[in-house]
Amino acid sequence: MDTVKSVTSYPRMSGIVLVLTAAVLWGVSGTVAQYLFQQHGFSPEWLVVIRLLFSGLLLLGIAYRKERQRIWQIWKVKHNWTHLLLFSFLGMLAVQYTFFNAIHYGNAATATILQYLAPVLITCFIAVRAKRLPTAKEVLAVGLALVGTFLLVTQGSFHSLSISGGALVWGLSSAVALAFYTIHPRSLLAEWGSTIVVGWGMFIGGVGFSLIHPPWEFAGQWSVSSFSAVVFVVIFGTLVAFYCYMESLRYLSASETSLLACVEPLSAAILTVIWLQVPFGLAEWLGTACILSTIIILTVVKEKDQSADG
């Protein structure tokens, strides 16, 4: 019995390790991006294009070595490539661009925390699709999310914002994009795997965005530190992190990945405060706690529903 339990729990443990790795890398990557924007004059558009193109090509190269036939087969079925194109532009590209703009207009901590309103949006979407009223705990989670957002963007004041309007709009847009990014590709992942889906998603998103902002249109200051920062964002904050996150969805539910990914906003907030010395007061920390608590509540609801179904 113990042997069976350990074997069946192994995929779940793999999923937990994968999503925690992705969360920490994303948190650090967001802070590194803020460093590039604010101290070296890089533009979010350029970093998004470079991030998607290089990471997409690297992932597709890995997929080609392992599955050189399957890498092209995904395009032979209309149902697959239409979903892949939607994922590439409305998921992959959208979540990258909105997130980096939220950092550009604000800071990595606030941008990351606002993005983690996505589980609340996912819960609302599922309730509407199922044509049911939200449960009491879901209503509580939505209420906490609203309170947390209010504290985060106003420092508790009803008269002014503590962040720019651009940071707020892009941060909320990033939450919408992340919700779509989490829900949409599950069938593609189940059939084709993370390497092919994420690789094509990044590359297609990068190529599409290159038509709007070519990668050779660069503005900023190069140095050893800025070059190292770009390499970190592309390799560890994108290639490794996105692969780990998408792979974790094969073993964990969307709500579980959202819970474990709470490490991302916490790591981003702590690093932003310590490294970049961004002020983060009591109201912001309380807002962060409210938003992250919604993820815990929603995950508990999901687990109880699964137990009842079992």
Which pLDDT belongs to residue 125?
Answer: 86
Q: Residue 177 above 80 pLDDT?
A: yes
Q: Residue 173 above 90 pLDDT?
A: yes
Mean per-residue pLDDT for 47-64?
A: 92
Structure tokens at 297: 């509540």
Which pLDDT belongs to residue 2?
Answer: 45
In angstroms, the CA 201 to CA 243 distance is 11
Q: Residue 309 above 50 pLDDT?
A: no
In angstroms, the CA 170 to CA 247 distance is 27
Amino acid at 218: F
Domain ranges of the chain: 16-309
Mean per-residue pLDDT for 269-284?
A: 86
Which is more confidently placed, 243 or 143? Answer: 143
DSSP state of 156: T
Structure tokens at 37: 């924007």
Q: Residue 17 above 80 pLDDT?
A: yes
Q: Where do runs of H (alpha helix) occur along 108-240? A: 108-115, 118-129, 136-154, 165-183, 186-192, 194-210, 224-234
List CB contacts of 183: < 8 A, sequence separation 6 or more.
122, 125, 254
Mean per-residue pLDDT for 79-85?
A: 89
Which pLDDT belongs to residue 7?
Answer: 40
Mean per-residue pLDDT for 135-158?
A: 84
Structure tokens at 131: 């044509």
Which pLDDT belongs to residue 110?
Answer: 92
Please give the C-alpha separations between residue 10 and each of 3, 13, 16, 18, 163, in angstroms, as whole numbers.
11, 5, 10, 12, 43
Q: What is the pLDDT of residues 183-213, one digit of tens each?
A: 888 888 888 887 889 899 999 999 999 999 9
Share of the chain above pLDDT 90, in %: 36
- Of 76-90, 180-194, 219-233, 248-262, the range with the highest mean pLDDT is 219-233
Residues for the chain: how many in total? 310
Please give the C-alpha separations between residue 106 and each of 31, 48, 168, 309, in angstroms, as whole numbers.
11, 17, 8, 43
Q: Are 115 and 174 in contact (CB under 8 A)?
A: yes
In angstroms, the CA 80 to CA 77 distance is 5
List CB contacts of 144: < 8 A, sequence separation 6 or more.
290, 291, 293, 294, 297
pTM above 0.75, yes or no: yes
- 244-271 burial string, b = 16+ CB within 10 Å, else e? bbbbbbebbebbbbbbbbbbbbbbbbeb
In angstroms, the CA 254 to CA 259 distance is 9
In angstroms, the CA 122 to CA 114 distance is 14
In angstroms, the CA 290 to CA 283 distance is 10
Which pLDDT belongs to residue 302?
Answer: 56
Which pLDDT belongs to residue 307?
Answer: 46
Mean per-residue pLDDT for 74-94?
A: 90
Q: Are 286 and 143 in contact (CB under 8 A)?
A: no
List CB contacts of 262: < 8 A, sequence separation 6 or more.
23, 116, 292, 295, 296
Which pLDDT belongs to residue 301?
Answer: 56
Which pLDDT belongs to residue 190?
Answer: 83
Which pLDDT belongs to residue 106?
Answer: 92
Please give the C-alpha separations between residue 181 and each of 26, 74, 93, 230, in angstroms, as whole numbers.
15, 19, 10, 24
Mean pLDDT check: name the lowest of 1-5, 91-95, 193-197, 220-224.
1-5
List CB contacts of 191: < 8 A, sequence separation 6 or more.
80
Q: What is the pLDDT of residues 90-142, one digit of tens each?
A: 999 999 999 999 999 999 999 988 998 887 888 888 888 888 887 888 888 88
Phi, psi dihedral angles at 205 (to 5 degrees)? -60, -40
In angstroms, the CA 57 to CA 49 distance is 12
